[in-house]
């Protein structure tokens, strides 16, 4: 038997020892060590990346889900730090989710890790930290990610598992602080849409963004609206969400 065929025979068994027979020329005691070591490494890594899902499903269902992923999913990358992203891909491709919020909860837990390991830096975005946020074009930090979910992902857990999503979406801001910590905060619909617009139309000035925002919301872009808008933009600058304006 060729080496590659031997390797494939071994890996097929390690992925699915219940259905695929072990290679005949390898002692089962040794195979058992590999079977346990490899699966436990993956289960331990994913358990650390998705603690809420693990607690919500309970250990039996959680390990069954990890086992299915381990057996069936073909990763698009060999990089170990990307295992959590592959697990998310696997969940998102499932034909049916149980519980129904599993996909969004998985994304919510994964995205924290994604921002933690992101190589993006605010310093790499050319900006004027003292620029006027109404007359200039506000810059959205690459370390601030507005997120929208159908389910209240930040509240889900063993003691809160709704069967249907609420009428209003859950709007969150994920940002990485200067100390490296990642934090979530809730956003109002107005603030969320403003951050969306900064990504969609980066050349527009803050004043133009607010004018368009008022038109979308069907409200008057009067002096009071712009005053509140400036206050919101300045709050975002203070928190690092908007580091400044386009140079």
| pLDDT tens per residue across span 2-36 | 656 656 555 665 566 666 666 667 666 667 667 77
CA distance 168 to 182: 25
CATH number at residue 50: 1.10.150.690
Q: Which of 217, 222, 228, 175 is nearest to 193 (CA)?
A: 217
Q: Are 153 and 101 in contact (CB under 8 A)?
A: yes
Angle between helices 223-238 and 189-200 (to 10 degrees): 80
Quote the pLDDT of residue 115. Answer: 95
Q: Which two tokens stand for residue 183?
A: 């934090």
**Looking at the domain assignment, is residue 109 inside a domain?**
no
In this predicted structure, the answer to whether residue 37 has a pLDDT above a threshold of 80 is no
Quote the pLDDT of residue 7. Answer: 60
Q: Are 38 and 99 in contact (CB under 8 A)?
A: no
**Looking at the domain assignment, is residue 118 inside a domain?**
no
Query: pLDDT digits over 134-173, tens only?
Result: 999 999 999 999 999 999 999 999 999 999 999 999 999 9
**Looking at the domain assignment, is residue 167 inside a domain?**
yes
Question: Do 127 and 219 fall within a single domain?
Answer: yes
CA distance 40 to 67: 10
Global model pTM greater than 0.75: yes
* Residue 96 CB neighbours (<10 A): 6
DSSP string, 55-76: HHH-HHHHHHHHHHHHHH---S
Residue ending a domain, choose from 96, 113, 134: 96
**Looking at the domain assignment, is residue 74 inside a domain?**
yes
Contacts with 33 (C-beta within 8 Å, 6 or more apart), sequence order = none
Question: Do 170 and 70 fall within a single domain?
Answer: no
Question: Do 141 and 207 fall within a single domain?
Answer: yes
Quote the pLDDT of residue 149. Answer: 98
Question: Do 146 and 239 fall within a single domain?
Answer: yes
pLDDT (average), residues 95-115: 96
Which single residue is written with the structure tokens 């994913």? 46
Quote the pLDDT of residue 187. Answer: 97
Report how many domains make up the chain: 2
Quote the pLDDT of residue 180. Answer: 87
Query: pLDDT digits over 77-99, tens only?
Result: 777 789 999 999 999 999 999 99
Query: pLDDT digits over 229-244, tens only?
Result: 999 999 999 999 999 9
Q: Which two tokens stand for residue 40?
A: 């436990």
Question: Do 65 and 155 fall within a single domain?
Answer: no
Pairing of strands 144-149, 170-176: antiparallel
Query: For residue 116, what pLDDT band results from cuts at 50, 70 and 90?
Result: very high
CA distance 79 to 153: 27
Kindly report the average pLDDT of the chain as a whole number. 90
How far lies 71's CA from each of 66, 82, 87, in Å? 9, 17, 12
CA distance 128 to 130: 5
CATH number at residue 188: 3.90.930.50
Question: Do 25 and 75 fall within a single domain?
Answer: yes
Q: Which domain covers residue 15, as residue numbers? A: 3-96
**Looking at the domain assignment, is residue 114 inside a domain?**
no
Question: Do 141 and 76 fall within a single domain?
Answer: no
**Looking at the domain assignment, is residue 197 inside a domain?**
yes
pLDDT (average), residues 48-70: 96
Instruction: Identify the residue with better confidence: 14 or 127.
Output: 127
Which single residue is written with the structure tokens 């304006």? 245
Question: Do 183 and 221 fall within a single domain?
Answer: yes
Q: Which of 119, 72, 62, 70 is nearest to 95 (CA)?
A: 72
């Amino acid at each position: 038997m060729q080496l590659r065929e031997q390797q494939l025979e071994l890996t097929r068994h390690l992925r699915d020892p219940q259905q695929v027979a072990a290679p005949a020329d390898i002692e089962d005691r040794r195979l058992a060590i590999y079977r346990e070591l490899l699966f436990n490494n993956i289960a331990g890594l994913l358990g650390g990346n998705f603690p809420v899902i693990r607690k919500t499903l309970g250990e039996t269902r959680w390990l069954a889900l990890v086992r299915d992923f381990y057996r069936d999913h073909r990763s698009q990358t060999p990089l170990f730090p990307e295992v959590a992203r592959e697990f998310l891909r696997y969940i998102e491709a499932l034909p049916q989710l149980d519980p129904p919020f599993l996909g969004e909860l998985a994304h919510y837990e994964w995205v924290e890790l994604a921002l933690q390991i992101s190589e993006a830096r605010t310093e790499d975005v050319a900006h004027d930290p003292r620029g006027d946020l109404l007359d200039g074009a506000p810059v959205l930090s690459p370390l601030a990610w507005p997120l929208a979910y159908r389910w209240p992902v930040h509240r889900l857990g063993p003691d809160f598992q709704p069967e249907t999503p609420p009428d209003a979406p859950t709007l969150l801001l994920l940002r990485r602080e200067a100390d490296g910590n990642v934090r979530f905060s809730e956003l109002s619909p107005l603030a969320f849409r403003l951050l969306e617009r900064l990504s969609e139309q980066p050349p527009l000035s803050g004043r133009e963004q607010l004018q368009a925002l008022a038109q979308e919301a069907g409200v008057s872009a009067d002096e009071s609206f712009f005053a509140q808008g400036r206050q919101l933009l300045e709050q975002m600058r203070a928190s690092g969400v908007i580091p400044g304006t386009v140079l």
